[in-house]
Amino acid sequence: MTAATATAYDAVQVGDVLPELAIPLTRTLIVATALATRDFQDVHHDPELARERGSKDVFMNILTSNGLVGRFVTDWAGAGSSLRRIAIRLGAPNYPGDTMTLSGEVLSKADGLVEVKIAGVNGLGTHASGTVTVAFAQGTR
């Protein structure tokens, strides 16, 4: 949703469903974002070492998952919105070649803040679940 098509914070209602966001999980995305977040654990960039440690392949790190969840909510909330809290738990790993689809629902709304329940699901199950609290820019969404 762009700022031009955004509606006012006042239009947000508890129970509103956010548009889903499908994120292709490429090897490049997983490796590059691990390195960008300075997470040099070999399980995030070396397939052979990841397998030696019991994983079927490299997998996404939590900092990237947090960032993608935050992007999902702020894209919906609009330009000028800001994250106040992200509380997620990780489950099924995000492996290359899969897709993670993020979905969300508005849980509460008060004093310019909106709490959104999120889920990020891939072919193995739920990768990330939890809540995000976002502050809206005045008059936008």
Q: For 99-117, what is each residue's pLDDT tens digit?
A: 999 999 999 999 889 999 9
Is pTM, for the whole model, over 0.85?
yes
Give the CATH number of domain 3-135; options: 3.10.129.10, 2.60.40.10, 1.10.1040.10, 3.20.20.70: 3.10.129.10
CA 12 from centre of chain? 20
Q: Which segments within 39-112 are labelled E, that is strand? A: 82-90, 98-110
What percent of the chain lies above the pLDDT cut of 70?
91
Q: Specify the pLDDT at position 40.
A: 85
Low-confidence ranges of the chain (pLDDT < 50): 1-7, 140-141
Query: Do 9 and 88 form a contact (C-beta atoms < 8 A)?
Result: no
Q: Specify the pLDDT at position 48.
A: 93
Q: Specify the pLDDT at position 65.
A: 98
CB atoms within 10 A of CB 109: 17
